[in-house]
Amino acid sequence: MRARGALGVFVAGLVGLGACGDGGDAADTRDTHDSDAEVDEPDGDTTAPETDVPVTDTETQDSEVTGDAWAYLVARYDKLETLAGRGQQRDQGVEWVAAYEGGPATAAELSRPHMAMADASGRVFIADKEAHAIRRVDLDGTIHTVAGTGVPGDDGDDAAAGSGRRLNNPNGLFVLTRGASSGVVFILDTDNGKVRRLGVDGQLTTHVIVPGGVGGGRGLWVSDDEGEAWIGAGKRVLHWRRGVGVSVLADGFDDLGNLALDLEGRLVVTDRGANFVYRVVGGQKVVIAGNGETAGGGEGSLATQMAFYEPRAVWFLPDGGFFVGTHEGNQVWYVDPQGVSHLFLDGGDGHAHSGDGQYFRTPGKKVSEVRAVTVAPNGDVLVTENDFGYVRVVRHR
């Protein structure tokens, strides 16, 4: 099954990025595996060979490069804005207060958010990790809690209102934007070792129980029919299938960041500890971006010769290119279909935060510690960034 999730197609430029797939029945898809059971190991070797130089994707080595895709992309984006977060409590633990609820999202403190993703209507869901909650930013700019109470814990697996159920360090989420399940939000409830399902009716259930727990997991991707899920779990990528359970798709990673499926439905992961972006093919790690170093390369470099310092974010575009966001590099890059790197959004250390209301290509250090990059169905680019807690948006023209 090619479960391409939220990849979408070009409609009037980059507008219309949304979920692709078969759709399907969203009824009771919870995995029934015992949480103490072992994860099923697939047949064959799922670990990349022990080597100092990982396998490299020859598709990114094409020396005949063009700037057309980059110019096309740049022409379709405009101003940078802060969508949520005010950053005044900095990187300390943030307590959610009553005054934030229903107020302007830019007046609310976020607690090291790790992912933001929009639904088909343009509402943005945020994994507010250290506040143990999921927030939703509505079209009028107000922010609302849709899951989690702010207190870490686990209130079981049966259906209940999400805003009354505890979560524990939700480190990722995924929003379905097309088909019968459009609007359903999946939550990587990291320290509870579960993937939760938040229905459009606000009911929270458990979709997957991960045997042995998730560990330091971040990435999550769910198929449109809700029948498959890909989960980043520390040094392993797990694959869940309805009726089958959880198996190890690949392991031996250093420190996984986010993950995504490309246009062909192939899994791509960021490994912030190794400074690589990999495509996973038959359990093997194939480098599509990064040189394994913390410095080197720059604008116009082939992605496999470019240093992406602690890559955490990856997101594919319908042209075949993709975004990479770097935590320590403090930047967002676009890798075009020929594998050439272009700086999309610049940033800096020291928790840089600037550029609101300016054209996104205006010089300046605008972001810091990039955690996630996603593209909304209307084409807006959402950037979750900064230990001080911000979600930024680059508006589509």
pLDDT digit string (tens) for 315-335? 999 999 999 999 999 999 999
The sheet that has 170-175: what strands, in order across it? 160-161, 203-209, 194-198, 185-189, 170-175
Local structure of 47: helix, strand or coil: strand
Which residue carries 């209307």 as its tokens?
378
Structure tokens at 394: 């680059």
Percent of the chain scoring above 90 in pLDDT: 77
Name the band, by pLDDT with cuts 50, 70 and 90, for residue 41: low
Name the band, by pLDDT with cuts 50, 70 and 90, for residue 40: low
Domain spans in the chain, listed from the N-terminal domain onward: 55-396
Q: How far apart are CA 320 and CA 335, in angstroms?
A: 9
Mean pLDDT value across residues 260-280: 97
The pLDDT of residue 92 is 58
Alpha helices in the chain (DSSP H): 68-74
Q: How far apart are CA 389 and CA 89, in angstroms?
A: 9
Q: How far apart are CA 65 and CA 304, in angstroms?
A: 14
Q: Which tens digit of pLDDT belongs to each residue from 295-310? A: 999 999 999 999 999 9
Residues 6+ apart with CB under 8 A from 97: none
Q: How far apart are CA 14 and CA 219, in angstroms?
A: 24
Q: How far apart are CA 36 and CA 299, in angstroms?
A: 48
Name the band, by pLDDT with cuts 50, 70 and 90, for residue 8: very low
Does domain 55-396 bear CATH number 3.30.390.30? no
pLDDT for residue 166 is more than 90: yes
Structure tokens at 255: 């420190």
Name the band, by pLDDT with cuts 50, 70 and 90, for residue 313: very high
Q: Is the dihedral of CA 121, 127, 128, 133 positive or negative?
A: positive
Q: How far apart are CA 111 and CA 131, in angstroms?
A: 6
Q: Which tens digit of pLDDT belongs to each residue from 201-234? A: 999 999 999 999 998 878 999 999 999 999 999 8
Q: How far apart are CA 70 and CA 344, in angstroms?
A: 9
Q: Which of 3-17, 166-180, 307-321, 333-347 has the lowest average pLDDT?
A: 3-17
